[in-house]
Chain A
C-alpha cells in the first residue's frame, strides 16, 4: 500500500536519516521510534508529502505521491503536533471545517456520534477557545475517525490526552486495523496495543559517516 524508497532527510545541515526503506501494507501498524530530534516528525511529514525529501520517494499504490496527490490524500489522514482548532469556531464547526477540506459530507448524526465517542457529547456548540488542550486533541480524534481514510499518520497523538483518552486512541487504532486500515505513528508515551506491531528505530538510519560523501 505504502512504500518508502531510499529516503534521505537533511535538516539544518544535519543528516537525520538516509537510505530508509520500508513498506506498510493494509492492516499493519507501525511505530516510528527514536530519541528527540532524530527526525520522526520530519519522516512523517515526508510520508505525508508535506516535506520534500533530499533523496528517495514515497509511493502510494505503486505510484509516487507527487504525481498521485488526489488519490493519496483521499485515503490518508494526518495529525501533527498542532491542534488545527479555531478558537472562534464551535466544536461541531471545527470538525466540519476539517472534513470540508477533504470534501466529505457527513450527516449530523454520524458527526455527533463520533464526537460522543471521543467524549465531547454536549460540547458541540462550545467554542474552541473554551476547551482544554486535551479536549482539542479529542476533536482531532473525531476528525481522524470520520475522515474515512485507509492510512492514518499520527504524530504524537497522545499529547495532552488523559488516561481515558489514551485508551480511546488505542481502541481506535485496533478497530482501524481490524477493518484493514494501516497506521503509522510516533509517541513518547507508552501505547499498549494488543496486536502485532512493527516498529522502526529511526536513529539506526542516521549514518554518522555521511560526511564521507562528496
Chain B
C-alpha cells in the first residue's frame, strides 16, 4: 500500500519534470498577479503593507485553483484514472499520492517563492516568516479540497469556471486565517491561534477530503 503510494507519487513527479515548462507556470502566474497590485493600487510602503497579506493569499489561491486541472484531467483523458480505480490498493491512498504530488508541484513552490513576494510587498521580516508558515499549512488544504472539486468536474466539458464556483467558497476559511496571520504578525502580535486553526483545518482536510475525492471519482467514472 505504501509502495503504491510511493510509486504513484514518483510517477506524477517524473511526468511533471518531463514537461518542465509547464511546471513553472503556476509560479509565474502567482508572482505576476501579485505584481499587478502595486501597479493598480499604489506602490507606497503603507499601501503595500495593508494589502500585502490579502493580495499574496488571494494570488496563491488562484494559482492553486488554475493548476488543479492537472490533478486528474490528463489521467481522465487517457484512461489511466480507470486503471487507478481498478487497483487492488485502496483508492484513498492513491488519491493521497496524487494530491501529495500536486502539492509538491504547486503548493511547495509557492511557499518557497513567498519571501520574494514579501520583499515586493514591503513586508517586515518577521511577518514574512509567518507568511511562509501560513502558506505551508494552508496550501495543502487548497490541494486537498481542490481534489474534490476536480474529481466532480473532470468529466464536464469546459468545467473550468464550474470548478472555481464549486471550490472557491470552500477556500474561504483558509483565506481568512492565512491572510490574517500575516496581518497580525505585522503588528507584532502573537499568531499562534491562526496557525493552530490552519493546522486543525489541515488535519480535518487530510482525513476527510481524500475519502470524498475517492467517492467523487467513483461517481465520475460511473457514467
Asked whether, in the complex, the Cβ of B8 is within 8 Å of the Cβ of A80, the reply is: no
8 Å CB contact of A81 from B3, B79, B221: B79
Q: Give every chain B residue within 8 A of A117 (Cβ-Cβ).
A: none
**Given known contacts A80-B79, A82-B82, A101 and B15 CB-to-CB distance under 8 angstroms:** no
**Given known contacts A89-B15, A93-B14, A73 and B86 CB-to-CB distance under 8 angstroms:** yes
Tell yes or no: B84 within 8 A of A by CB: yes
- With most chain B CB atoms within 10 A of its CB, the pick from A51, A85, A103 is A103
Asked whether, in the complex, the Cβ of A103 is within 8 Å of the Cβ of B3, the reply is: yes
A89 CA to B222 CA in the complex, in Å? 28
Asked whether, in the complex, the Cβ of B88 is within 8 Å of the Cβ of A50, the reply is: no
Q: Which of B199-223 touch A at CB < 8 Å?
A: 218, 221-223
Tell yes or no: A52 within 8 A of B by CB: yes
Tell yes or no: B44 within 8 A of A by CB: no
CB distance from A84 to the nearest CB of B (A): 4
Asked whether, in the complex, the Cβ of A82 is within 8 Å of the Cβ of B223, the reply is: no
**Given known contacts A88-B15, A89-B15, A93-B14, A101 and B89 CB-to-CB distance under 8 angstroms:** yes
Tell yes or no: B78 within 8 A of A by CB: yes
Give the total of B residues in contact with A, Cβ under 8 Å. 28
A50 CA to B19 CA in the complex, in Å? 30
Q: Which of B73-123 touch A at CB < 8 Å?
A: 74, 77-80, 82-89, 94
**Given known contacts A51-B222, A52-B222, A89-B18, A100 and B4 CB-to-CB distance under 8 angstroms:** yes
Q: Give every chain B residue within 8 A of A73 (Cβ-Cβ).
A: 86-88
CB distance from A93 to the nearest CB of B (A): 7
- With most chain A CB atoms within 10 A of its CB, the pick from B3, B74, B80 is B80
Tell yes or no: B192 within 8 A of A by CB: no
Residue of B nearest to A71 (CB): B88
Asked whether, in the complex, the Cβ of A84 is within 8 Å of the Cβ of B78, the reply is: yes
Residue of B nearest to A153 (CB): B86
8 Å CB contact of A80 from B18, B82, B88: B82
Q: Give every chain A residue within 8 A of B87 (Cβ-Cβ).
A: 73, 101-103
Chain A positions near chain B (C-beta within 8 angstroms)? 11, 45, 48-52, 69-71, 73-74, 76-78, 80-86, 88-89, 93, 97-98, 100-103
7 closest A-B pairs by beta carbon, nearest first, are: A82-B79, A88-B18, A100-B7, A74-B88, A84-B79, A73-B88, A101-B87
